[in-house]
Amino acid sequence: MREKVEAILDKIRPHLQADGGDVELVDVDDDGVVKVRLQGACMGCPMSTITLQQGIARILKEQIPEVKDVIAV
């Protein structure tokens, strides 16, 4: 599943980079929890929670049904 998550993040990444941010995949556990680290302009941005939950998490869950949760670490 890690490879699937990486492939989706590679599609999302250019949108984040356009605003000076990025996302790093930290871990994917056996329970379907994906851990990511927001980087660049995304760190500390007041919209980062929305970016994570309504952007990254939504897309990952739609594309990979095994993903149960996405959390920032």
pLDDT tens digit sequence for 17-35: 998 999 999 999 999 999 9
- What are the extents of the domains in the chain? 2-72
pLDDT above 90 (res 12)? yes
Q: How far is CA 47 from CA 18, 34, 52, 57, in A?
A: 15, 20, 9, 14
Q: What pLDDT is attached to residue 69?
A: 96
User: Which CATH number is associated with domain 2-72?
Assistant: 3.30.300.130
**pLDDT tens digit sequence for 35-72:** 999 999 888 888 888 888 889 999 999 999 999 999 99
